[in-house]
Structure 1
């Protein structure tokens, strides 16, 4: 079969399959979207049934015919149980944790069987080599985390999800394609970087401030709840003097800024460098802001601020659709 014809046939099939199971945040599997065929073992089983039937017919042997009819009945019952294993299964995509470019992110999926039923030996995969097995007990819900490669920043929409099973005897393959309305936010890959003065006035330190001499230190003050742990005078604390904060003058009092124009490289290299510095300053408990050509985030601290900064970096110059 030539490549253009093969491509058109595949394109037609997937359009047909998507119409039968449209994209949604939660999908319940019905007969329109469940497919059953013999597995490789099932083809051998079917061939054995056919040979026994031919032998029994040719030699008029009732015992062989009875065995062949029993195997045929077993095969039909296996088809029914295989279909029932997926019928009524509810698949819902849940909010996923963000990740970084080059890592494996995970799409959270919740499986709920039909009332009074269970779902056994399920195999779920967003890619053929990343299968996850799940068993859902009757009346229970099962949370499954499906790995997915993050190859570029921004919103990652997962491909169609394959749900299949060889239950109950391995001679049938039942499967369904599910198109979930879900997405995962992918941050830029953190790469070590340093800041330079955007105005050409000299080099900046990792903190985004002009480098100062050590005499910028001006003394100690009483510890205030919520202060940065990096500012605590641990040597004084070790000598039994209690918790004090180190105070600095000059640039140390200024806010820290992740400035897009103060990082060298192309757009992706700059975003990766700013991502690295944001993570570093967050670990140090520092207050920092973000300056991008598209907008500014005021200095703050905490996990929520870090997420806003990384989200702004991830979606820079990309369309953000909710």
Structure 2
């Protein structure tokens, strides 16, 4: 249990950000989804079959699909890189009511598709245009009175093909 507490403390200190925040390369993580792992297994099986039968068209299809996966990973990462979170505000509420948390996100010159913002168990998906900003409100349950820490906010995407998931965990210094 001490290890988990130490890891949580380290994680919060590393990902604590001040507003406005622009997502950079050190804040974004990317891993394949379950569909991406199945796709990789399929491409690997096709590669083994291509080598076994020395079929040039099978090689062509295998490497075409593998390059499609690499391009998908690059676009998935680029969909989050440079995204700006300009403003986060939380309104005071009574105990037991749902607190409204408003986020203002900006595309920073690039259209962003299927960006998901998750706070606890609540999540919302939005599409950002290249110019302008967009507001997003999440409602989280409250269990006690007084100011509540916002906790970890995860901004993620699986765009374009769903083979990879890129995410950026953030801990804001607002309450």
TM-score between both structures, scaled by the size of structure 2: 0.92
- Change in Cα spacing, 1:16 to 1:78, as seen in structure 2 (3 Å) is farther
Q: Which residue of 2 aligns with 1:87?
A: 81
Note the C-alpha offset of 1:105: 0.8
Of residues 126, 148, 160, the one that matches 1:168 is 160
Note the C-alpha offset of 1:146: 1.5
Residue 127 (str. 1) matches residue 155 (str. 2): no
Q: Which residue of 2 aligns with 1:147?
A: 139
TM-score between both structures, scaled by the size of structure 1: 0.52
Distance across 2 between alignment mates of 1:58 and 1:13: 47
Q: Retained in 1: the 8 A contact 2:116–2:155?
A: yes
Give 3-state SS (helix, strand or coil) of 1:99's partner.
coil
Distance across 1 between alignment mates of 2:7 and 2:158: 23
Higher relative contact order (CA 8 A, sep 6+): 2
Q: How does 1:292-303 map to 2 (within 5 A)?
A: none
Distance across 1 between alignment mates of 2:10 and 2:51: 42
Which protein is richer in strand relative to its size?
Answer: 2
Q: Retained in 2: the 8 A contact 1:26–1:180?
A: no
Note the C-alpha offset of 1:96: 2.9
Note the C-alpha offset of 1:33: 0.7
Q: Which residue of 2 aligns with 1:250?
A: none
Q: Retained in 2: the 8 A contact 1:93–1:181?
A: no
Distance across 2 between alignment mates of 1:42 and 1:146: 29
Of residues 67, 71, 75, the one that matches 1:73 is 67
Q: Retained in 2: the 8 A contact 1:36–1:174?
A: yes
Q: Retained in 2: the 8 A contact 1:93–1:182?
A: no
Q: Which residue of 1 aligns with 2:39?
A: 45
Note the C-alpha offset of 1:134: 1.1
Matched pairs, number: 175
| Greater gyration radius | 1
Unaligned runs of 5+ in 2: none
Question: Please, what is the CA RMSD of the aligned residues?
Answer: 1.6
Q: Retained in 2: the 8 A contact 1:87–1:114?
A: no
- Change in Cα spacing, 1:73 to 1:13, as seen in structure 2 (3 Å) is farther
